[in-house]
Amino acid sequence: MNKKYYYNFLLLFIFIIIFYLVNNLIKNNENYTGLKTNYFFDNLKANNYKYDDQKNITYCPNNNECMTKNYKYHFNTIESIKLVKNKVETSSLLQQYNIPVPNFLVINIQQDYSIILDKIKQNNIHIPFIIKPINGTFGIDVQKIESLNNFYNIIQNFKKKYQNMMIENYFEGSVYRIFVFQNKIIDVIKRDKPYIIGNGYDTVEFLINKRNKSMVENGFFETKNLSLDYMEKQGYTMHSILPSQTKLYITNVINMHNGALLERIPISNIPVKNLDLFLKVGQVIKINCYGLDYISKDITEPFQYDKDVILEVNGTPDTEIHTKIDNYGDKFFKEIVSNIF
């Protein structure tokens, strides 16, 4: 083996090792978001809780027998974390307990396109529908399908990254993030689709860039995952001049990390029927801390099985969405810490 091939082989070997280690780190480090802020640790200290580098929290009330809990996986078991990471298994389990979830199907996108279309038809899934990774977070690669042509093009792009993907019926409405800890609802945030409003002389592209700049300056996220087909369906392209006072939704990915609009919903405004549903999810999955994504046109109205659904359960929920507005960070974590033991 000459030196050139040897070095190429060595570089390839090193690359594979690095890829394996990084991928393994991502898969195993379930606590990549959430309980890492000063709010959390300040409230631990305020309650006289001790904690160590292994993420153990110890509480010794009145010098009596001490109690210890570990927050490495947001106070959850590894089994529950693995379950909710798999969207198919989670939705199947929730269905068994009569908890409303979208009708869904797993497809092998490497198969012939006609076979995929037949399966979709057989499973009563209709346009518009959602395609997304079976394991995924932050709305990455979640797409709303508006037409069969759109679907075909997206599948061709996804073939480079995925073998199997999940398809589910689309539901219109706002997406709510419900944070539940130890069978108690701590906070509810409404997320709405990002939009721009025309002024009669600037292009859609200019207004999007202006909005993104403003969002970043105010500590929020820009909208990177744009839905060009969705904008065209509303009658506009990136180069269109948006008429004055005209509202244009620029994406179908309703996610804080994609520039969604945030609003806190008082828990007292939510019907008991809905609150019981949110808690039942955790009881069925046997998970202590989770972020629930729920879609509804109005969370303050009792849910209906054919209109409101549980979209996703996150076992290591990012808490940033709950601290982004209203300077709520300290109050939010105070609720969490006071319910640890």
Encode pLDDT of 130-153 as tens digits: 998 887 655 677 888 888 888 998
Domain extent for 236? 201-251
108 domain-assigned: yes
Q: Above 60 in pLDDT, residue 20?
A: no
pLDDT tens across 182-218, in order? 999 999 999 999 999 999 999 999 999 999 999 999 9
Mean pLDDT of the chain: 88
pLDDT at position 138 is 59
Q: Percent of the chain scored above 90 by pLDDT?
A: 60
How many domains does the structure of the chain reveal? Answer: 2
pLDDT at position 8 is 62
pLDDT at position 28 is 41
Contact assessment for residue 301 and residue 271, using Cβ atoms and an 8 Å cutoff: yes
pLDDT tens across 119-129, in order? 998 888 988 89
Backbone torsion region of residue 63, taken as left when φ is above 0, otherwise alpha when ψ lies between -120 and 50, otherwise beta: left
162 domain-assigned: yes
Query: What is the distance of C-alpha 30 from the center of its chain?
Result: 14
pLDDT tens across 291-320, in order? 999 999 999 999 999 899 999 999 999 899
54 domain-assigned: no
Q: Above 90 in pLDDT, residue 55?
A: yes
pLDDT at position 148 is 87
269 domain-assigned: no
Number of C-alpha atoms within 13 angstroms, CB side, residue 4?
0
Rounded to whole angstroms, the Cα distance separating 284 from 81 reads 13
Residue 244: how many other CB atoms lie within 10 Å: 10
154 domain-assigned: yes
Rounded to whole angstroms, the Cα distance separating 254 from 192 reads 6
Query: 147, 170, 193 — which closes off a domain?
Result: 170
Tokens representing 17 are 């090792």
Query: Residues 281-293, buried b or exposed e (16+ Cβ, 10 A)?
Result: bbebbebbbbbbb
Residues 217 and 160 placed together within one structural domain of the fold: no
pLDDT tens across 93-121, in order? 999 999 999 988 999 999 999 999 999 98
226 domain-assigned: yes
pLDDT at position 12 is 62
pLDDT tens across 73-100, in order? 999 999 999 999 888 899 999 999 999 9
The amino acid at 293: D
pLDDT tens across 219-275, in order? 899 999 898 888 998 999 999 999 999 999 999 888 888 999 999 999 999 999 999
pLDDT at position 6 is 63
Q: What is the largest CA-CA distance in the chain?
A: 73
Contact assessment for residue 291 and residue 318, using Cβ atoms and an 8 Å cutoff: yes
Q: Above 60 in pLDDT, residue 21?
A: no
Query: 113, 148, 170 — which closes off a domain?
Result: 170
Q: Above 60 in pLDDT, residue 15?
A: no
Contact assessment for residue 318 and residue 332, using Cβ atoms and an 8 Å cutoff: no
In this prediction, residues 3-9 reach a mean pLDDT of: 62
117 domain-assigned: yes
325 domain-assigned: no
pLDDT tens across 23-39, in order? 444 344 434 446 888 99
Q: Which of 289, 291, 239, 312 is nearest to 88 (CA)?
A: 312
pLDDT at position 32 is 40
Rounded to whole angstroms, the Cα distance separating 98 from 65 reads 42
Tokens representing 6 are 């040897």
**Residue 18 pLDDT level (bands cut at 50, 70, 90):** low
Cβ contacts of 192 within 8 Å, gap of 6 or more:
174, 175, 254, 260, 261, 263
Q: Which CATH number covers residue 142?
A: 3.30.1490.20
pLDDT at position 206 is 97
Q: Above 70 in pLDDT, residue 4?
A: no
Residues 165 and 211 placed together within one structural domain of the fold: no
Query: 213, 235, 251 — which closes off a domain?
Result: 251
In this prediction, residues 152-181 reach a mean pLDDT of: 91
Beta bridge partners of 289: 181
